[in-house]
Structure 1
Amino acid sequence: MPLSPPPDLVLLPMIQRALDEDLGLGGDVTSMALIDADQQANAAIIARSAGRVAGLPCARLCFAQIDDTVRFESVVADGADVSAGEVVARLSGPTRSLLAGERVALNFLGHLSGIATHTQAMVTKLEGTKARLCCTRKTLPGLRVVEKYAVRAGGGVNHRFGLGDAILIKDNHILAAGGVENALKSARAHAGHMTRIEIEVDTLAQLNAALPHKPDVIMLDNMDIQILRQAVVIIDNKVISEASGGVSLQTIAAIAATGVDMISTSAITMSAPALDLGLDFVS
């Protein structure tokens, strides 16, 4: 499936908030003090380390919002792998405008490329299995749409975007509802025919209680590899199986080898280090 970024209309409010935060009421006072308003410059955004790129539309919009005369040309596309020293984008325009947008553009690009890079590293570990890697709702407030996009750029897939997309019964729901069976009965009675139902279980007893109610997905939460393997056998492809908890670059291959359909983790959005990129003036 082609990688489609969120539309500009969705991106612009978060871009503008970030620019307002950085520029404040006074603007870039350093550049205004040192650089003539009519001075022009050429620049390049360069990867300082190897990784997978995501967030170029955000970087482009950062400069466009400051000055629509800035020319921004992507040299690679989101989802591309780059080496250290490789040019990611080229820019030209008023020097003041390039400097004013530099940090916010690099913040978006580095953060989202870091997510894509970390996701891609985990996806590589799934080769030879049927498992797919998906993200969670553990995202930075206000950035979910772009962080989930970055996961897709890294080869992962998205879990539900928000609470209204599907019913996901977690441990606190089970406790409040009076058990697995009560929770699933209530969910089925409430859900329309288009609403998917998923339930989180952390024991084989809960799994056996859930299966007769035929949820669409059963999340196997924080199970060790031996128990996870038993759970996959019990499920026997009757529903989609999803492993969650304790997922890392060191453990994901073993989790995938149990035969689960999906592996979900917050690590790809919450623990991914930013990709190191910089903006350099060029002649």
Structure 2
Amino acid sequence: MATIHDEDLARILRDDCPYSDPTTEGLGIAGQPARATLTARHDMTVCAVEEAGRMFELSGASTSIAVGSGTRAAARTLLLEATGPAGSLHRTYKMAQTLIEILSGIATGARAIVDAAQSVNPHCRVACTRKHMPGMKQWALRAIEAGGAVPHRLGLSDYVLVFEEHRTLLNDAAPLSEHFARLKAHAPERRLAAEATDIDGAAALARAGAEIIQVDKMTPEQVAATAAVLSTLSPRPVLAAAGGINAANAAAYAAAGADILVTSAPYQAPPRDVKVRILPA
């Protein structure tokens, strides 16, 4: 899974509490021994409990992780317990709670799509796009991986994917296969992917040398027809279905013959509520 470093966690804590906590300090309870528990309010696929625990530790508390990232947790499951001075717990708990809620929401959304797809095709993979909040790549990767999905591509530098927006700028005098050959020579260690919006276009891209055909906004029936055409080619390209993939239709696309489901839906998933209680230790 993606690695989150201490400086990233410390930055979150500093953003919320750059100076002091006048409430806890003003009440005279900052040094009082206390215990915080974080519990799932609803069923969820858990993510970022380890990072939340580390945030408590960076603030001077001790932690015990009850449930690790990637685990399916039922409502009322204890996720994390922290003990230490009340000032440390109050400085940390809201950011820790929010981090778990948002990332567990994404993980739960990803898991729902993975479960739906693999219920009909165990070999179908769910790949999440780079259309997450800019600047939050490591958090997005952490969440989708906890949900059983994989990155579609880590960024523009990671993957060769030819869109129509590229092809409109190519010299029409040369065949597409010539352009693809040049691209493969430029990036010989990467597979060449290309996106199509119809069945004939997908077949043409495959015959020109594309090794992965990504079809955009096709119906499951159109994906099935595309899969049938591609199956006549040798070698058969990998078929990725993109555009509007979600938990409600993932099974239909997987059953239609897609090898990969490309989706951004988990990033719009609602957070999963976490209940926090702070009591005397």
* Counterpart position of 1:154: 147
The one-letter amino acid of 2:145's match is R
* Counterpart position of 2:48: 55
Q: Distance in 1 between matches of 2:171 and 2:116?
A: 39
The one of 99, 105, 114 equivalent to 1:123 is 114
- Report the secondary structure of 1:125's partner residue: helix
Q: 1:35–1:52: structure 2 CA closer, same or farther, 3 Å change rule? A: farther
Bigger Cα displacement from structure 2, 181-190 vs 70-79: 181-190
Does structure 2 conserve the Cα–Cα contact (< 8 Å) formed by 1:43 and 1:91? Answer: yes
Does structure 2 conserve the Cα–Cα contact (< 8 Å) formed by 1:35 and 1:95? Answer: no
Q: Distance in 2 between matches of 1:56 and 1:217?
A: 36
Does structure 2 conserve the Cα–Cα contact (< 8 Å) formed by 1:133 and 1:157? Answer: yes
Q: Distance in 1 between matches of 2:7 and 2:134?
A: 13
Q: 1:80–1:246: structure 2 CA closer, same or farther, 3 Å change rule? A: same
Does structure 2 conserve the Cα–Cα contact (< 8 Å) formed by 1:169 and 1:183? Answer: no
The one of 261, 264, 272 equivalent to 1:275 is 272
Does structure 2 conserve the Cα–Cα contact (< 8 Å) formed by 1:160 and 1:166? Answer: yes
CA drift of 1:102 comes to 0.9
The one-letter amino acid of 1:256's match is A
Q: Distance in 2 between matches of 1:63 and 1:272?
A: 26
1:232 aligns with 2:227: yes
Q: Which runs of 5+ in 1 are unaligned?
A: none
Q: 1:30–1:177: structure 2 CA closer, same or farther, 3 Å change rule? A: farther
* Counterpart position of 2:10: 16
Equivalences for 1:249-268 in 2 at 5 Å? 249-268=247-266
1:165 aligns with 2:161: no
- Report the secondary structure of 2:155's partner residue: coil
Q: Which runs of 5+ in 2 are unaligned?
A: none
Identity %: 27
* Counterpart position of 2:186: 190
The one of 189, 195, 200 equivalent to 2:195 is 200
Q: Distance in 1 between matches of 2:273 and 2:93?
A: 14
Q: Distance in 2 between matches of 1:152 and 1:173?
A: 30
The one of 218, 225, 228 equivalent to 1:223 is 218
How many residues of Structure 1 are paired with residues of Structure 2 in the alignment?
A: 272
The one-letter amino acid of 2:270's match is P
CA drift of 1:218 comes to 1.0
Does structure 2 conserve the Cα–Cα contact (< 8 Å) formed by 1:184 and 1:210? Answer: no
**What's the Cα RMSD here?**
1.9
CA drift of 1:27 comes to 2.5
**CA offsets, 1:238-269, max 9 Å, x none?**
11110000112221111111011000100112
Q: Distance in 2 between matches of 1:242 and 1:207?
A: 11
Q: TM-score, normalising length from structure 1? A: 0.89
- Report the secondary structure of 2:157's partner residue: coil
